Amino acid sequence: MAAVEVLTSELVAPADETPAGAVWLSNLDLAARRGYTPTVYFYRPDGEPGVFAVDIIKDSLAKALVPFYPLAGRLGLDATGRLQVDCTGEGVVFVTARSDYVLNDLINDFVPCTEMRDLFVPRELSPTPPCVLLLVQVTSLRCGGMVLGLAVHHSLVDARSAAHFVETWASIARGSTGDAPAPPCFDHKLLSARPVPTVLYDHPEYKPEPTPPPHAVTTASTYASTLITVTKAQVSALKARCEAASTFRAVVALVWQCACRARSLPPDAETRLYSMVDMRPRLSPPLPPGYFGNAVIRTSAAATVEEVVCNPVGHAARRLRAATSQGDEYARSLVDYLEGVDTMNLPRSGVSRAHLRAISWMGMSLHDADFGFGAPAFMGPALMYYSGFLHVLNAAGKDNAVTLALSLEPESMPEFRKVFAEELA
């Protein structure tokens, strides 16, 4: 594996004066993972590499931090010890580096893992207050290509918000005169608990498993990860088997089915498929288009392994659809439920070996973040947190194809790849 040499490390502050004060965080922010989400963007050579591209990215970052000023602050605590964002304007970490990697070799070698995160994303600081909210690394490659690595704190930013920020930043960098992205909205009190909390649902996704799971929880050090591209034709054929299910539901249903087979789970074991649902358009009234914060909720579909494996894949897709169709009433019930629990003790560390957690990054602008030198040749997570994690993304440059970033136990991955390929064929 080629080395990466760090050249500079500094703080980049907003280009203009920004508001002070604090941003209140909602219960959905407090329920998010207490740490950074690392992502990477790979860019092909475009003209003269080096300082020019770095200067464009750095200067546009400072300008983007003006409307997105909370990112330049620090995660802090209010007088009661509740998390908040202190809008100090201190800035974000900005690192420049260089590597002997050639882009094509890097893309061929890349899978989300700790080693890749450590190469191309700034070393994460402690995620506890007071801490920075965004770290950026620009790595110049020997071929003239570039890697942009980001680590953003999940307590303030979900995937939709991250895409909103990167889209704005890239638009500034390339001097776009077209329609600007919506301005960010930091009014997290739109997701406040109701004066009289009313919990109408069970919300098991936010509770520890009541009994020790039959399969040990795996950790980040015990997973194997892979990237799989599902072509447009394969997606179409799979959706036809799933009664016109969405691309996300059809693909995830097949991964769930194949993972159960590859793991050789007992037929009567419970398997749960966790997912995240963006509630921005589902609330009544909907959140503003530029809502910047965590507006996703965890949901899940549970079944026996036998039910998932022995039925057509469309059955699993229908189960997933039922679990991801909640609206305003469900979201408000969850916010009210979280008002009455200690959010520090919510389950966040992983899933049982029988389970999967699927996240959609589809339909977001993450995969076409053009800073003036073209859309990325690849964009995805820099690492997977634990075994049983699945990201579904639009495949860069491939119309209606998707990329799967998946982690499983090392002993299960070869069989998964085999049965998944057979099912797609």
The 8-class DSSP code of residue 185 comes to: B
CA 268 to chain centre: 32
What local confidence, expressed as pLDDT, does residue 1 receive?
Answer: 61
Q: From 52, 71, 70, select the one nearest 136 (Cα to Cα).
A: 71
Which residue in the list 86, 153, 154, 158 is annotated as catalytic?
154
What local confidence, expressed as pLDDT, does residue 350 receive?
Answer: 72
- pTM here is 0.93
What local confidence, expressed as pLDDT, does residue 352 receive?
Answer: 83
Domains and CATH numbers, the chain: 4-191 (3.30.559.10), 213-424 (3.30.559.10)
Q: With contact defined as beta carbons under 8 Å apart, do 181 and 167 qualify?
A: yes
Full pLDDT tens readout for the chain, 425 residues: 678 999 999 999 999 999 999 999 999 999 999 899 999 999 998 755 555 689 999 999 999 999 999 999 999 999 999 999 999 999 999 999 999 999 999 998 899 999 999 999 998 778 888 999 999 999 999 999 999 999 999 999 999 999 999 999 999 999 877 777 889 999 999 999 999 999 999 998 998 766 645 554 444 458 899 999 999 999 999 999 998 799 999 999 999 999 999 999 999 999 999 999 999 999 999 999 899 999 999 999 999 999 999 999 999 999 999 999 989 999 999 999 999 988 888 876 678 889 999 999 998 877 778 999 889 999 999 999 889 999 999 988 777 899 999 999 999 999 999 999 999 98
Q: With contact defined as beta carbons under 8 Å apart, do 3 and 80 qualify?
A: no
What local confidence, expressed as pLDDT, does residue 385 receive?
Answer: 86
Q: Is 370 tagged catalytic? A: yes
What local confidence, expressed as pLDDT, does residue 219 receive?
Answer: 47
Query: What is the spatial distance between Cα 380 and Cα 276, in angstroms, rounded to a whole number?
Result: 17
- What lies within 8 Å, CB to CB, of 402 at 6+ separation is 229, 230, 235, 247, 251, 362, 392, 393, 394, 395
**Cβ count near 219 (within 10 Å):** 12
Q: Is 215 tagged catalytic? A: no
Q: List C-alpha distances in Å: 76 to 47, 224, 353.
A: 42, 35, 35
Q: With contact defined as beta carbons under 8 Å apart, do 189 and 319 qualify?
A: no
